[in-house]
Amino acid sequence: MKNDIHDLGLVLDSKVKLIVIESWDEPRVLETLTSLAIKKGLGLHTWAVTEGIQRLGFGGDSLGDQPTLEPEAALTLVKHDPQANLYVFCDLHPFLVDNPRLVRLLKEIAMAEGSHKPTLVLVSHALKLPAEVQRYAARFSLALPSEDELLAIVREEAARWSERNRGARVRTDNRTLQQVVKNLRGMSHGEARLLARNLIVDDGAITQEDLPELNKTKFQLLDFDGVLSFESETARFAEVGGLANLKRWLGERQSSFLDGNGVDAPRGMLLVGVQGAGKSLAAKAVSGLWGLPLLRLDFGSLYNKFFGETERNLREALRLAEQMAPCVLWMDEIEKGLASGEHDGGVSQRVLGTLLTWMAERKAPVFVVATANAIERLPPELVRKGRFDEVFFVDLPNAAIREDIWRIHLKRRDLEPTAFDLAQLAAASAGFSGAEIEQAVVSAVYTAQARQQAVDQALLLATLQGSVPLSVLMAEQLAALRAWAQGRTVSAD
């Protein structure tokens, strides 16, 4: 808070008469302004539609009995105040719509000159000033808590829980505590305190099992559903067959991303390959491996018929990803949103420009995992080296990997893998993707239930024989994709 008081004091010293503070943490804003008013010896008054103007118990002259519930009356009083008082108006924004008198009053207050004139501070979660007023206003943002402050907040909440529970200690470990602190970044002081309290209150413990719920609640607080979605089910790499080279590459960079200082930190990867070969599962597994929240960017919901809205949606989504940092940002089937189009009025080009600028300039620890099926549709400036740390090609699984995939999906459905000849199943499923093998298992389970029999080797083989894999249906396209990837990408296996 000390830096906020100092920085906001500099804004006041600049003689700006209208200040806008957007924040969800209204109590902290008021606390900061109160400390500043005391420091500078200013009279401080607050306004809300439920109470009108209220004078705090220090400095300034009495307002008498003037009715100030209505915003026009309150702003008129501020305009005519001959003292350099500080007025804080909370949630004035709904009244500014289609109300020219209020807009004019704001403008007159903002244009007033002289050190004896009052200063008006507008506080709201979001506030867009009318165009004729915004050039006279200064915007100020409270600093978000540092990691040291977040750690102190968690410890304070742990101490409070301990006091309420006869001195019992909150159970946790240092690794989990550090992860919690990192995942609280981007939250205000009040939000971080609420999340920390929720972690502890149920069982007096902070464990790894609490992290997914913490990340989900954080995403909900940031309140930007639609373009971005929070993926709560993140796979473990043990559930991903093959991809040995990709797993090794990620393992080597995990500590650099989680503990690095931002210098040469890993930035992301592009996964290209056959549909169903495991690209999306690998993207989820990065989140699970690194213990980070996973956000999915839906390019389909980005596009809006109004000019400029699509780019704004993307900027808002990327801003939210930075607030969720450290996190993994999954851009699934990226070619569908960035493929160059001749009939979209240049929207795809503007979206591409916005994304490329963010990828080059971002400082927040956001690890991008992009997946693509049709690499030829991607613009060359996106796939060149430097945009991503590496471009991996995910091919159809070989025989050994297919055995692993059969083992994973049989076990997931409570079928004992040792009861099956996995080598025979792997040989019979040559040309099948991991997703197609999974569907073969699912189909066999349905058939067995309908026939009231157990799933056996013969049933799985029969299911495979009745299915035509994508590698046969689209053999020419797959051959072309492999030819393109040769020498341009790194094998994920």
Q: Quick check: 121 and 88 in contact, CB under 8 A?
A: yes
Residue 313 banded pLDDT, cuts 50, 70, 90: confident
pLDDT of 304: 55
Report which of residues 315 and 308 the model is more confident about.
315
Cα 178 to its chain centre, rounded Å, is: 19
Report which of residues 458 and 221 the model is more confident about.
458
Residue 74 structure tokens:
């309150």
Report which of residues 324 and 416 the model is more confident about.
416
pLDDT of 386: 72
In Å, what is the CA distance from 325 to each residue of 294, 322, 343, 363? 10, 5, 36, 10
DSSP string, 389-419: SEEEEE----HHHHHHHHHHHHHHTT--GGG
Question: pLDDT of 47-85, one tens digit each?
Answer: 999 989 988 755 444 455 567 889 999 999 999 998 889
User: What percentage of the chain reaches a pLDDT higher than 90?
Assistant: 21
pLDDT of 88: 94
pLDDT of 257: 85
Residue 446 banded pLDDT, cuts 50, 70, 90: very high
User: What percentage of the chain reaches a pLDDT higher than 70?
Assistant: 90
- Worst-scoring range by mean pLDDT, 3-17, 145-159, 181-195, 306-320? 306-320
Residue 61 dihedral angles phi and psi, to the nearest 5°: -95, 160
Q: Across the chain, what does the average pLDDT equal? A: 83
pLDDT of 108: 93
Q: Is the pLDDT of residue 223 over 70?
A: no
Question: pLDDT of 392-438, one tens digit each?
Answer: 888 888 888 889 889 988 998 899 989 999 999 999 998 888 888 88
CA R_g for the chain: 29
- Of 338-352, 425-439, 466-480, the range with the highest mean pLDDT is 425-439
The pTM of this model reads: 0.69
Q: Is the pLDDT of residue 356 over 70?
A: yes
Q: Is the pLDDT of residue 24 over 60?
A: yes
Type of residue at 330: W
Question: pLDDT of 143-195, one tens digit each?
Answer: 888 888 899 999 999 899 988 888 888 888 888 888 888 888 878 888 888 88
CA 224 – CA 227 distance, rounded (Å): 8
Does an H or E element contain 35, and which? Answer: helix 26-40
Q: Quick check: 221 and 188 in contact, CB under 8 A?
A: no
Residue in the structure block whose two tokens are 């990065």: 286
Mean pLDDT of 105-130: 89
In Å, what is the CA distance from 8 to each residue of 3, 12, 85, 328, 352? 8, 6, 15, 34, 37
CB-count burial class (<10 Å; 0-12, 13-18, 19+) for 100? exposed
Mean pLDDT of 269-280: 81
